[in-house]
Amino acid sequence: MTRRETSGRHLVARRYRYRDLVVRGRPFVWGQRTYLMAIINVTPDSFSGDGLGTDVDAALALAQRFEAEGADILDIGGESTRPGALPLDPEAELARVLPALVAIRSATLLPISIDSTHGTVVEAALAAGADMVNDVRGLRGDSGVGVAVARHGVPLVAMHNQRGAKFHDVVRDVRAGFFETLRLAHDAGISGANIILDPGFGFGWTPEQNLELVRRLPELQDFELPMLLGVSRKSTIGLVLDAPAGERLEGTAAAVALSIAGGADIVRVHDLAPVRKVVRVADAIVRGNWRPE
């Protein structure tokens, strides 16, 4: 075990534990049920075919639809994270996300997450009314993200991103990434109560490794932190089903249900209404929380 991994284990043991959150007045009680993060892509090149570009009216209408369908969080992103996508300049990203965020913020009390890896974008989004941050680089990119999260005292979804990393073992690599993220969070002054971990399904893994990741989720539960899974419409599901992005709902549903069985607390999805039904049944089985209405 490396010195850095040892330090990470110490942080897990002494500082980071499950603690419930309240975001914009809404309680997130971990273990009680699975929460739904709805995806709003203001990109022209989303892998999933749902990119809205700079159409603010369309983004607002989608946010309102998601709220009516039972979303718990709205996740707004302006930079495509699909494999091979070109990096986006922060100024261009802001031009995409801020108009949509401002319009959506004025129309809903739902918590809004900003999906970005750029500190300047995160800072501006939080100042404009975003309530949390979704960083697919897990603080291992722009240090400004950690600074903004700590300064505003907001929740952080921190992903382990395997892209460009040497592969050893699925769980071992995710654990190493989580340890590094927790170290960086500690150094930035981010409260342990605000950390949500994401093992990074679809980010640098082979299809076989993605499937293994979901299968082995229980091995990551000793972090005792809430976990988010983003399996919706991912290419691995498309390969298993031999289906394009718009025809992966059933595969997404299966992966979501198994993610919940493995310990997921939040699922990030495109097709909220049907997946909400999947989540309700999965929660009834896994968490035993079903009661007749």
Catalytic residue chosen out of the listed positions 268, 276, 277, 280:
268
Task: At 255, list the tokens.
Answer: 């992966």
> Alpha-carbon distance 198 to 225, whole Å?
10
Q: Which of 33, 234, 248, 276 is catalytic?
A: 234
Looking at residue 265, the DSSP 8-state letter turns out to be S
166 counts as catalytic: no
Instruction: Give dist(CA 67, CA 272) in Å, integer.
Output: 10
Q: Residue 228: enclosing H or E segment and its boundaries?
A: strand 228-229
- Produce one character per residue of 141-156: b if its CB has 16 or more CB atoms within 10 Å, e if not: bbebbbbbbbebebbb
- Pick the closest to residue 236 from 215, 221, 263, 220 (CA basis): 215
For every residue of 123-161, DSSP letters joined together read HHHHHTT--EEEETTTTSS-HHHHHHHHHHT--EEEE--
How far is the C-alpha of 158 from the C-alpha of 177, rounded, in Å?
A: 10
Strand, coil or helix: 273: helix
Active site residue 234: yes
Rounded CA-CA distance 288/266 in Å is: 17
Catalytic residues: 234, 268
